[in-house]
Amino acid sequence: MASLNKRYVTAAAILQAACLAACGDEALPVAENTATTVEKTVAAARPVGEEKLVLAFGDSLYAGYQLGRGQSLPDAVQNRLRADGINATLVNAGVSGDTSAAGRQRLAFALDNLPRKPDLVLLGLGGNDVLRQIPAAETRANLVAMLDELRRREVPVVLTGMVAPPNLGPEYVAAFNAIYTDLAREYGAALYPFILDGVIGDPALMLPDRIHPNAKGVERVADRVTPLVAQRLAG
């Protein structure tokens, strides 16, 4: 665990530098002409027979910011699942710029507009909360509300986490970074602790903004996230 924590601290420092260089105090940018809203993607999800339906619910790291069609993280995970013989459809409900509060407001709508109850939700929000320096307690409360809603609907979850950069101070960092581990344990969710682990800081895997992964970076993340999704779908 010590080496793991050290790696996350290093990654958080890289994220801090990227934020300062690329966006200052601004949130993760909203992608133009994004085709990742529920309204535009739900029509593609038409489960047949034993097909598994997964809702990928997050921000620009799910939406596929500045990537081509078919290059988002949900696309990459879906491709791997199908290659492994798992008949799964992922509905990409990633919205660039979303905070946890915005996700909380639209989660029920996203779920209600699926063709049926999903077999799994891939949940990844919080990055924009960090960039906006939203109090960690608010991020936690919003994620709790979403996890409560998913528990009420009896939908299992894979949670992808974020880490706070050290310039926000040890108190904030400790409070924020504990959110995902705590909630995964409390709600029985599978957890990938830091979505950009092994990607951020590598120019070959990141866009020039140094915040978002490029297509190769997305593939690297998908390599690591897909086994958790597959395991969760298997029950």
Q: pLDDT per residue over 85-124, tens digit each?
A: 999 999 999 999 999 999 999 999 999 999 999 999 999 9
- Residue 67 binned pLDDT confidence (cut-offs 50, 70, 90): very high
pLDDT at 13: 53
pLDDT(70) > 90:
yes
* Backbone conformation region of residue 133, classed left if phi is above 0, alpha if psi is from -120 to 50, else beta: left
The residues that bridge with 120 in the sheet, in sequence order, are 54
Please state the rounded mean pLDDT for residues 219-233. Answer: 98
pLDDT at 88: 98
pLDDT at 50: 85
Q: What is the mean pLDDT of the chain?
A: 87
Quick: pLDDT tens for 159-201: 999 999 999 999 999 999 999 999 999 999 999 999 999 999 9
User: What would the CATH number be for the domain defined by 2-233?
Assistant: 3.40.50.1110
Among residues 120, 61, 67, 60, which one has the least CA distance to residue 90? 120
Quick: pLDDT tens for 136-151: 999 999 999 999 999 9
Two structure tokens written together for 157: 């979850």
Answer yes or no: 119 catalytic: no
Instruction: Please tell me whether the overall predicted TM-score, pTM, comes out greater than 0.85 for this model.
Output: no
Answer yes or no: 60 catalytic: yes
Q: Of 59, 100, 129, 212, which residue is the catalytic one?
A: 212
Residue spans of the domains in the chain: they are: 2-233
Answer yes or no: 72 catalytic: no
Q: Of 59, 60, 98, 100, which residue is the catalytic one?
A: 60
Among residues 200, 60, 222, which one has the least CA distance to residue 128? 60
The alpha-helical segments, DSSP class H, found in 95-157 are 100-112, 127-131, 136-152
